Amino acid sequence: MRKIRTAVIQAGGKGTRLIELTKDEIPKPLIKIAGKSILEWQIENLKRYGVEKIIIIVGYLGYEIKRCFGDGEKLGVSIEYIEESNPLGSGGSLYFLKEKNIGDDFILIYGDVMFNINWNRMEDFHIQSKAYATLLVHPNTHPFDSDLVALNSKSQVENFLLKGQKRERWYKNCVNAGVYILSKKIVFEMGKLCKLDLEKDILIKYAGKGVLYGYYTTEYVKDAGTVKRFYEVEKAFLNNIPEKRNLANKQKCIFLDRDGTLNVYKGLLADEEEFELEEGTIQALKAINQSEYLAIVVTNQPVVARGMCELEDVEKIHRKMTTLLGNEGVYLDDIIFCPHHPDKGYAEENVKFKIDCECRKPKTGMIDSMVSKYNIDVKQSYMIGDTTVDIQTGINAGLTTVLVHTGEAGQDKRYDISADKQSKNLLEAVKMLLV
């Protein structure tokens, strides 16, 4: 029996940016996407995970929502409404929940976010971490125009980097998706009824205190808040991509090598200034992002073990990579690297990382961990890389392999093997795989 049975949906917004779709006659959550309103899609996904009590906070044109859904009987759930006579921001109206039976923890979502997620996983994460609040975080196609979250190694929220705030030149594409599990403690700690922003006025108080967590997922979550995004979301739903990306289902993945595959090969790379994307990488990732496949980087970075740089420098290179990609509307679902190297006895080396690990390619440790984290089916997944080490890794892991003729173009000749497929570059490889 799951513990979380209640979801609160913030449906009071005006939806000004979608006026050409709403014609100002319906509120944003009633816009139809692939045949159903946003609210219907949301409630359907929640109900599948036993969340059958829905509280909708209505404001602008709220009577249209009530007219559509009534007490929820037609959808097989029970619906209650909270009426906001004056706009109270994204957080102020939560005050009314003090009088509602919401359980110890409840789900909170915005009425313009389209998603298809496995709530059991997020609930387990929330309960195990004993969080006051869990925010669903992920990389998205417009991090420059989104609220970012900085997490520490325990997935605790250290701080918020809100849109419009000045940020570092290179940053991690880790976006707050507008999907939460909150403890009722947050509601009971609210002082008085007034206009409040959920992030800026409420959640930020808990940041850096070890009680706010980020739940990272590759599942489909996207706000349909602009006309352009609305059409992207509709296309994805018509192609059933959100359901396929629900982690309850086996995932398909394209594992990608980094140097010489995604970015120009320059030998060992220790300085982010040297990092430069390969031609076609943006278009290749765009195609993967719009498909049912995950895009995950698996890379050996012995630069750390060799003492050429610190772990933080590798992270910095990855922040540059995700910023460059994010600026062009594409992202990687995850990045994993091996900082180790087996052979000891060199000057300058960092002995701590000089180990014969299980993650250095062609061993499969990195792929194995991603396979279990994201429920990946290796038989339906690929490894794309520019060296025989990448191809040997793919073979060891049971993946179909593609050698690209960029970077080292297979000339490392470490293993006497041939790839299942060959391709001029990443873009051509992805086009071939996604036909």
> Is residue 260 a contact residue for Mg ion (CB under 5 A)?
yes
362-401 footprint of Mg ion as x/- string (CB under 5 A): ------------------------x---------------
> Is residue 359 a contact residue for Zn ion (CB under 5 A)?
yes
Active site residue 112: no
> Is residue 314 a contact residue for Zn ion (CB under 5 A)?
no
> Is residue 340 a contact residue for Zn ion (CB under 5 A)?
yes
Q: Binding Mg ion by CB under 5 A: which of 112, 199, 223, 257?
A: 257
Q: Binding Zn ion by CB under 5 A: which of 172, 244, 245, 360?
A: 360
The smaller minimum CB distance to Zn ion, of residues 77 and 304, is found at 304
How many residues contact Zn ion, by CB under 5 A? 5
Residue 260 touches which member of Mg ion, Zn ion, none, C-beta under 5-8 Å by kind: Mg ion
Report the 3 state secondary structure along the chain: CCCCCEEEEEECCCCHHHHHHHCCCCCHHHCEECCEEHHHHHHHHHHHCCCCEEEEEECCCHHHHHHHHCCCHHHCCEEEEEECCCCCHHHHHHHHHHHCCCCCEEEEEECCEEEECCHHHHHHHHHHCCCCEEEEEECCCCHHHCCEEEECCCCEEEEEECCCCCCCCCCCCCEEEEEEEEEHHHHHCCCCCCCCCHHHHHHHHHCCCCCEEEEECCCEEEECCCHHHHHHHHHHHHCCHHHHCCCCCCEEEEEECCECCCECCCCCCCCHHHCCECCCHHHHHHHHHCCCEEEEEEEECCCCCCCCCCHHHHHHHHHHHHHHHHHCCCCCCEEEEECCCCCCCCCCCCHHHCCCCCCCCCCCHHHHHHHHHCCECHHHCEEEECCHHHHHHHHHHCCEEEEECCCCCCCCCCCCCCCCEEECCHHHHHHHHCC
> Is residue 320 a contact residue for Zn ion (CB under 5 A)?
no
Residue 360 touches which member of Mg ion, Zn ion, none, C-beta under 5-8 Å by kind: Zn ion
The smaller minimum CB distance to Mg ion, of residues 116 and 364, is found at 364
> Is residue 305 a contact residue for Zn ion (CB under 5 A)?
no
Residue 257 touches which member of Zn ion, Mg ion, none, C-beta under 5-8 Å by kind: Mg ion
Q: Which residues are catalytic?
A: 257, 259
| Residues binding Zn ion (CB under 5 A) | 338, 340, 357, 359-360
Residues making contact with Mg ion (CB under 5 A): 257, 259-260, 386, 407
